[in-house]
Amino acid sequence: PVVIIPGIARAPSPPGPAPRWELEGLLRSAGALCEPGVWSGADGGSVWCFWLPLSPQGSLVFLVSGLAVLGYAAALSAQPTYQAVVRAVCGAAVGKLCEVCFLLNLFMISVALLRVVGDQLEKLCDSLYPNGTLNGIPQLPPWYVDQRFTLSALCVLVIFPLSVPREIGFQKYSSILGTLAACYLTLVIILKYYLQAERWGLSLHGAPAPSPLALQCHEACVAIYSSMRNQSFSHWVTVSVLSMLICLLIYSLTGLYGYLTFGEAVASDVLMSYPGNDPVVIVARLLFGVSIVTIYPIVVLLGRSVVKDLWAAPKGGAVAECEARERRSRVALTVTWMSATLAIALFVPDIGKVIELIGGISAFFIFIFPGKIGPALPRQPLLCRCRAALIAWGVLSVLGGAFVCGQSAALAVLGLLR
């Protein structure tokens, strides 16, 4: 059979047999490094108001149910991307809003991933070529360990070849390596805490709020579902639950022990708090760099699909393209996407506030759009029996997403005004 995607006509490639690792890999991303900083920045008041309805158990229910609804909607609509599912189920207007939010969110995620990789490369280079003095004159490290060169070389030699392919089935191998890297990072943070002489106590008056950047698996879940060999609903729910449990364990342990190790002095990227010449930490940097390098191509693939949808919409829907033209457009989009995100990651001094400002957009994909999709699904025997519960879940999900989005935007604006 031929699958028609807006702007592309192609036969589907063999699906990957292990999508759980891609889903769990996207959940990890850069968020595990930031989690101890979230614990450090948490305080009472508004944080408790935000966290109480989104406790680990409550948030897990909403996250898994959202993934289940998206997978079920993808099966009914036979659409291969998130934005295509939203457009097919909720209409053209909501679909257009989804595409714009999707593109902006994915672009800033790409920038953030490159910045995290660049920071790890800089620390690794500092451990290999520490700054010193020669006869009282500061000795600069060689030019080839400069972050601008190392990150650019990594993008050209490694990330770009991984980002060009049309499918993400190959990621089943690299994502397993990334998952092991995240587990190693968690073990290192726990061991470093128990081996240190001075330990911090844990304050109970504040609670950590989940990072929007960390909860970004929903954008990729439809593409991952489309690449699965077994697309039964029960299998998809099992995949989602296992992925969420793995990430809940990794995030909780990393955030708790990272904060207990450094207290309020923990860096926003926890690995930056450790000495650069520690061999165990150097291995963690290398492995986590590999983990993020395997995530970036998935984000690029999703971004390409949104751009193709936006390009095809004025032309009246799906357009069949020849293989050669599709390959040229895919390479051109990948080069443009990578060049823009790399330039911002290298030359914009502080993108943290911008990322915080748009971070609330992630709530659209986690809560709002799934909440809109659930009640709007076509009437099926399975859905008719639980229609009232689905509508109630949709209302709660949309309200929760609106609150999260508004709070994230308000806190970011207050941070900019300070």
pTM value is: 0.76
Q: What pLDDT, on a 0 to 100 scale, did the predictor assign at position 151?
A: 92
Q: Please check whether residue 63 is in contact with residue 326, taking contact to mean a CB–CB distance below 8 angstroms.
A: no
- So where are the chain's domains? 3-349
The CA distances from residue 234 to 23, 71, 72, 79, 383, in Å, are: 16, 10, 10, 19, 15
pLDDT attached to residue 35:
57
φ/ψ of 3, rounded to 5, equals -95, 125
The reported pLDDT for the residue numbered 404 is 80
pLDDT for residue 172: 62
Cα(13)–Cα(4) distance, rounded to whole angstroms? 13
The whole-angstrom separation of Cα 179 and Cα 288 is 9
Catalogue the long-range contacts made by 261-264 (C-beta closer than 8 Å, 24 or more residues apart).
Answer: 261/36, 261/189, 261/192, 261/193, 261/196, 261/199, 261/200, 262/36, 262/40, 262/200, 263/40, 263/200, 264/40
285, 124 in Cβ contact below 8 A?
A: yes
| Residue at 372: amino acid letter | K
383: burial class by Cβ within 10 Å (0-12, 13-18, 19+)?
A: middle
Nearest-angstrom CA–CA distance, 414 and 418? 6
Best CA proximity match to 116, nearest among 28, 181, 33, 185: 33
- DSSP codes, 270-314: GGGGS-TT-HHHHHHHHHHHHHHHHHHHHHHHHHHHHHHHHHHGG
319: three-class secondary structure by DSSP = coil
Tens-level pLDDT at each residue, the chain (418 residues): 222 222 222 333 334 434 444 454 445 445 556 556 555 555 443 443 344 344 555 667 888 888 999 999 999 888 988 989 999 999 989 999 999 988 988 898 888 889 888 888 888 887 777 665 445 556 677 778 888 899 999 999 999 998 998 876 666 666 677 778 878 888 999 998 888 766 555 554 444 444 444 545 788 788 888 878 888 989 999 988 888 888 778 878 888 888 888 887 887 778 878 887 788 888 888 887 887 888 888 889 888 888 887 877 655 555 556 788 888 889 999 999 999 999 998 887 666 666 666 667 888 888 899 999 988 887 665 556 677 888 888 898 899 888 888 887 787 778 767 7
Would you state the pLDDT for residue 2? 27
pLDDT of residue 201: 56
pLDDT the model gives residue 355: 67
Q: What gap in Å lies between CA 256 and CA 190, rounded to an integer?
A: 9
DSSP assignment string, 34-56:
HHHHHHHH--STHHHHHHTTT-H
* C-alpha 342: how far from chain center: 17
- Pull the structure tokens for residue 384: 């008719």
The pLDDT of residue 32: 58
